[in-house]
Structures are given as structure tokens and as C-alpha cells.
Chain A
Amino acid sequence: AQSVTQLGSHVSVSEGALVLLRCNYSSSVPPYLFWYVQYPNQGLQLLLKYTSAATLVKGINGFEAEFKKSETSFHLTKPSAHMSDAAEYFCAVSNAGGTSYGKLTFGQGTILTVHP
């Protein structure tokens, strides 16, 4: 069984400040890890993914995440927040290969608020 824990249901930052959204996972097999963003009343958009290549993954809109196996973590960061980053962010885990990428286990989500 797999699970994801996102620490902090709400994170608030000032525009230009560092964004750090925390994600810890549990998996009995080597995981594939994903960060998705959801704007109000919309579907999910993939920000970035870890699929067992480089442990530091760069995504869209200046976001990146680092896979740390020893800490079972996959935290999302962005050096400088922009007002348009305000949204809900979800960390997700899946098994590798074949059709597994569609069988995602999600965390509860973190709502990011950006203050001017």
C-alpha cells in the first residue's frame, strides 16, 4: 500500500519569498512521485514528476522538487513566489511502469496563499 502525507494544509507566503511545500510518502516498492496544481473549479495540471532518473527534478513555472529516499520526502520549492502561484497543490505517488501512472495515491493537498 502507498500513502502520501502533505505537512500543512495551508501555507502563506509573501510575493518574492521562498515557497516550500512538504510531502512525505510511504511505498513498499520504488515510487514514482508527482506534484500537481489545481486552480479553483479546474482539473489537475502536472508541475513535475520523479521517475527514477535525476533526484532533483525541475518543473514548470520555476518549481522544483528533490527526491530523498532516506527521508521518504519529495518537497516542492520555488525560490520566489508570484501571485499567480496561489492555488492548491497535491503530491501523489504511483508504482512504476505500464498503466500504473494512472493509479495515483494523492495527499490531502496544500493551499498556497501569496500575499502582495
Chain B
Amino acid sequence: ETGVTQSPTHLIKTRGQQVTLRCSSQSGHNTVSWYQQALGQGPQFIFQYYREEENGRGNFPPRFSGLQFPNYSSELNVNALELDDSALYLCASSSPGGTEAFFGQGTRLTVV
């Protein structure tokens, strides 16, 4: 059974650009949640996808958007990047009836 995998592990973007981050959920998990962890902070909930639909959103602007595919993998898209978007982006998957979220290793995004 493979765990949650995220790609890429690191990337550098320029302010104003757009970025797409990818997450493969753990086998059997149909729910994916995305978090932003700024340096020295705890993770903050961005949004969750359940069965390909957005299922809850945190306090993030609309330029943060996502998708979930039929195989339950997910993408996080960020438009019009700002310097403050520099952070570790974490993906977590969970299963129906489960009681915990399993996290990937994260994608470190640096906006310059």
C-alpha cells in the first residue's frame, strides 16, 4: 500500500505566475485536504475535496483552487502568486469511516 505522494518536492516561481501542485492519495482514500504551512507556523486548512467536489474551504482567496480526479488524486492551483504564498504545501488523504488524515511529504514553494 503506497502512502500519500506529492510532486514536485520543491519549486521556485516568480511573483504573478501560476503554479500547480499534485497529490496522489493513499490507496482506498477518497478524501483529499490541502494545507499551507508558512515558516514557523502550524499548517492552515485550504480546502478539502471529497468525491471530486469541494467539501469545505478555509480562509483563502479564490486564486487558490483545486481539482480532484476520478482516481481521487488532486491538484492545488494558485494563480497570481504573491511573495507570502511561499510555504510548505501539504496534502492529506483520509478514508470513508476512517478517523485520521495521512499526510504527504509536502511541496516547498518559494515565490521570488
Binding site for B on A (CB under 8 A): 4, 32, 34, 36, 41-46, 49, 51, 90, 92, 98-99, 101-109
Contacts and interface: CB of A to CB of B under 8 A. Distances in A.
A108 B43 CA distance: 8
Given A42-B106, A43-B105, A101-B94, A107 B42 contact: yes
Contacts of A41: 108
Interface of B: 4, 31-33, 35, 40-45, 48, 50, 55-56, 90, 92-94, 96, 98-106, 108
Given A42-B105, A108-B41, A103 B48 contact: yes
20 contacts: A43-B90, A43-B104, A44-B90, A46-B100, A49-B99, A90-B43, A99-B55, A101-B98, A101-B99, A102-B31, A102-B48, A102-B92, A102-B101, A103-B45, A104-B33, A104-B101, A106-B42, A106-B43, A109-B40, A109-B42
Contact of B106 (A4, A43, A46, A92): A43
Nearest to B57: A103
Contact of B100 (A4, A34, A106, A107): A34
A95 B98 CA distance: 13
B100 A101 contact: yes
Nearest to B10: A41
A49 B90 contact: no
Contacts of B31: 99, 102
Q: What 6 A-B pairs are tightest by C-beta distance, nearest first?
A: A106-B42, A102-B33, A43-B103, A44-B103, A43-B105, A102-B94
A45 B94 contact: no
A107 B41 CA distance: 8
Given A101-B99, A102-B101, 4 more contacts: A36-B103, A44-B43, A101-B100, A103-B48
Nearest to A48: B100
A42 B99 CA distance: 22
